[in-house]
Amino acid sequence: MPLPWGRTPEPNPKRVNYYEGKLKQTSTVGSYPLGATPKGVLDIAGNMWEWCYDWYGSYELSPDENHSEPNNGDYRVLRGGSWNYDFRDYFRCASRNHCRPGSRDNNLGFRIART
């Protein structure tokens, strides 16, 4: 599933907080119910890049199957896209970005998750 809500429709300001919307800042959790996953999870795409625990490593340097993330590095993984990006590929569930640990910005956040 390339987007949190399925294959179609394309991202738009009614489903996700991103550059093309009118808000131009972070939004309150749950503000985009049309962007929910089939299981009802909200805010997976857009609004804020979400820090991940994983160290960033290029997939191009990994085998196609059974690859593992590096154990250390200079960057941590970010996922989800942000309100100030208009590159729609970042909203795909498989998309990743990266940033140096300790970086701060008004488009970086985190998600509390339980496994």
Q: Tell me the per-residue pLDDT of 31-85, one tens digit each, with 9 for 90 and over.
A: 999 999 999 988 888 899 999 888 888 777 655 555 566 788 999 999 888 999 8
* Token pair listed for 95: 């998309």
pLDDT of residue 58: 76
Give the domain ranges of the chain: 1-115
Q: What is the pLDDT of residue 1?
A: 58
What average pLDDT does this structure show over 91-111? 88
Higher pLDDT, 113 or 83: 83
Structural domain 1-115, CATH architecture: Alpha-Beta Complex (3.90)
Classify residue 14 by its DSSP letter. Answer: T
Q: pLDDT-based confidence at 101, cuts 50/70/90?
A: very high
CB within 8 A of 10, min separation 6: which ones?
Answer: 88
